[in-house]
Amino acid sequence: MGRRPKHLVDRDKLLAMVPKGATRIQVLDEKDNIRYKEIHDLADKDVIQVTKKGDPVVMMAKPGRRLDDGVITLEPANDTIAELMKQKQSIMERDPIIETARTAPESTDLLHFVMVALAEEASSIGFERQEAERQGAETSNISTRRINALTKLVETWLKRKDQITTKEIDLKAPTTRALFQYVFEMFKDAMESSGLEPETTETVFAKVAKVLESEQW
């Protein structure tokens, strides 16, 4: 019985190191393309890729966690990608645009934060254009991107301006409700100090509360 080629023997050792739950393994195929393959689909010429520690690069699925459409939530392929994803998530959690869109989408602050982000992007593209000019590179595409970013910024500014000038009072906003509560308490004290029957006061405020909870508010 002949011996197996060395690269296949090495591959067997790497496959034995694949952790439980791995769904795919990263390989360099015969066309020199890096791709993920299911273990049972590996070809003889596929070269398994390894981490700095010598472990095979795999794609993991978190046990028992599936999205509503049945797709498995996958683990990062390696520690470096996991750290990058962690940093990205941390930045997103502190992003004022995401935070405002999540907690107060009706707030006028949302467009303000969008304007700031657009301005930052336009400035970044402007720096990129200056560097291209300094190195004698083509700048027309960069200029087009900057013009588009500035156009979006102006459009957002116009929406923001219109939003501020035509803003209506949000009767369901916490601050508005707090103001109404203060006024109603003063009104209630005035009714009681005027000698009105408690039943009358309660009836009036019960009707007011019903109106406030209706769709017209």
Query: In the chain, where are the structural domains located?
Result: 1-61, 96-165, 174-213
Q: What is the pLDDT of residues 99-134, one digit of tens each?
A: 888 887 777 788 888 888 888 898 999 899 899 998
Q: List Cβ neighbours of 143 (8 Å cut-off, separation of 6 or more).
A: 129
Torsion of CA 110, 115, 117, 122, to 10 degrees: 170
Instruction: Give CA–CA dist 147/153, Å, rounded.
Output: 10
In 124-193, where do the E strands start and end?
none
How is residue 68 annotated by DSSP? T
Which tokens is 142 given? 């960069």
Digitized pLDDT (tens) for each residue of the chain, 217 residues in all:
444 455 566 788 888 888 887 888 888 888 888 888 888 888 888 888 888 888 888 887 544 444 455 555 667 778 888 888 888 888 888 888 888 888 877 777 888 888 888 888 989 998 998 999 989 998 888 888 888 888 888 888 888 777 666 556 666 667 667 777 777 777 777 777 766 677 777 877 777 777 666 655 4
Q: What is the pLDDT of residues 40-55, one digit of tens each?
A: 888 888 888 888 888 8
Spell 9-48 as b/e; 16+ CB within 10 A means b: eebeebeeeeeeebebbbbeeeeeeeeebeeeebeeebbb
pTM for this prediction: 0.42
Number of residues that make up the chain: 217
